[in-house]
């Protein structure tokens, strides 16, 4: 039966719109529960996010087939891949850490990242075929780097949750959304773990990339390398300061949020600095 089954004729963007709808549904469901001051069904939100993730994976797979490689060739693909990375991490750490509202915030962030990327056609106007020149190591480097951005995205979310909880306790606003936030200590612990994981993954990505760069220094784009190393260095410094307890509490949370904003902004120069490669027309890809 399964052998005879074939996927519906949907474009990659169609799949990605469907995935966005699921993420949005998770957010709306969570928001409704919060408005009614009821505890959210984490299982339902997890199921919606999981369904969105599966559909998004299909969309990105379709796009990968079309561009003959990991779909990281333009801003649209980078936003989609970052959201996908954050979701995949949530699906793993969510049940482990059992942080209430993490599913709600993750679905919100993914809905925003994916819908914004879909809503701005200019971000997907040019598709780069074989953006990594068929070099699987450099493709692995790029995928790892983007995955670390997904980790940092999740870190930014938990940092926001930390700040909300501090605000709630300091200002004594304890009802509504604030009633369901995880404890400050739990959020602080997960922030540190996510930062550690993100820095390790980004370090691995840079290590993989450096092997390729050292082999062919002429192909190295200085602007890209400097930007990437700057992002890595700032996160590494933040981690060092946190481990030495010189950067703690609200300042640490704000640092995580601002660093993620800076990391997202850095994607533009990194992306535009790539050498020109054969481009593909903007029409959506069909199977």
**Binding residues vs another protein (CB under 8 A):** 37-38, 165, 168-170, 172, 174-175, 179, 181-186, 188, 242, 245, 248-251
Q: Which is nearer to another protein, 6 or 171 (CB)?
A: 171
Residue 56 and residue 15 in contact, taking contact as beta carbons nearer than 8 Å: yes
Alpha carbon distance 161, 21 (integer Å): 24
Q: CB of residue 183 vs another protein: minimum separation in angstroms?
A: 4
Q: Which is nearer to another protein, 38 or 268 (CB)?
A: 38
Q: Which is nearer to another protein, 7 or 246 (CB)?
A: 246
Q: What is the DSSP letter of 131?
A: T
- How many residues are there in the chain? 287
| CA quadruple 15, 16, 17, 23: dihedral sign | positive
Alpha carbon distance 216, 83 (integer Å): 32
Q: How far apart, in Å, are the Cα atoms of 104 and each of 34, 99, 168, 178, 247?
A: 10, 10, 18, 13, 28
Q: How far apart are the first and last CA of the chain?
A: 21
Q: CB of residue 205 vs another protein: minimum separation in angstroms?
A: 28
Q: Dump the DSSP string for 59-128.
A: HHHHHHHHHTS-S-SSHHHHHHHHHHHHHHHHHHHHHHHT-TTHHHHHHHHHHHHHHHHHH-GGGGSSEE
Q: CB of residue 41 vs another protein: minimum separation in angstroms?
A: 11
Q: Which is nearer to another protein, 45 or 138 (CB)?
A: 45
Q: Which is nearer to another protein, 34 or 131 (CB)?
A: 34
Q: CB of residue 19 vs another protein: minimum separation in angstroms?
A: 32
Task: Read off φ and ψ for residue 280, nearest 5 degrees.
Answer: -120, 145
Q: CB of residue 31 vs another protein: minimum separation in angstroms?
A: 18
Q: CB of residue 168 vs another protein: minimum separation in angstroms?
A: 8
Angle in degrees, 0-180, between the axes of helices 102-119 and 136-171, rounded to the nearest 10: 130
Q: CB of residue 161 vs another protein: minimum separation in angstroms?
A: 12
Q: CB of residue 45 vs another protein: minimum separation in angstroms?
A: 17
Alpha carbon distance 208, 52 (integer Å): 30
Q: Which is nearer to another protein, 54 or 179 (CB)?
A: 179
Task: Read off φ and ψ for residue 127, nearest 5 degrees.
Answer: -110, 135
Q: Which is nearer to another protein, 86 or 190 (CB)?
A: 190
Q: Which is nearer to another protein, 65 or 174 (CB)?
A: 174
């Amino acid at each position: 039966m399964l052998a005879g089954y074939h996927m519906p004729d949907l474009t990659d963007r169609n799949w990605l719109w469907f995935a966005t709808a699921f993420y949005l549904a998770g957010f709306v469901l969570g928001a409704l529960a919060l408005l009614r001051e009821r505890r959210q069904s984490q299982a339902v939100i997890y199921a919606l996010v999981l369904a969105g993730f599966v559909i998004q994976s299909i969309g990105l797979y379709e796009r990968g087939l079309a561009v003959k490689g990991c779909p990281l060739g333009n801003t649209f693909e980078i936003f989609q891949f970052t959201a996908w990375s954050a979701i995949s991490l949530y699906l793993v750490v969510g049940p482990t850490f059992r942080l209430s509202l993490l599913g709600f915030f993750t679905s919100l962030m993914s809905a925003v990242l994916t819908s914004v990327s879909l809503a701005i056609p200019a971000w997907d106007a040019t598709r780069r075929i074989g953006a990594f020149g068929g070099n699987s190591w450099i493709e692995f480097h790029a995928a790892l780097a983007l995955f670390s951005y997904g980790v940092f995205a999740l870190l930014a979310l938990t940092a926001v949750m930390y700040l909300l909880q501090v605000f709630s306790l300091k200002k004594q606003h304890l009802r509504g959304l604030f009633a369901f936030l995880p404890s400050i200590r739990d959020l602080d612990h997960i922030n540190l773990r996510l930062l550690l994981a993100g820095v390790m993954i980004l370090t691995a990505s840079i290590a993989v990339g450096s092997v390729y760069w050292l082999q062919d220094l002429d192909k190295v784009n200085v602007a890209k390398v400097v930007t990437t190393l700057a992002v890595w260095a700032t996160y590494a410094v933040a981690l060092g300061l946190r481990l030495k307890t010189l950067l703690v509490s609200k300042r640490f949370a704000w640092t995580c949020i601002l660093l993620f904003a800076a990391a997202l902004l850095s994607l533009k120069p990194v992306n535009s600095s790539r050498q020109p490669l054969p481009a593909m027309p903007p029409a959506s890809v069909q199977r």
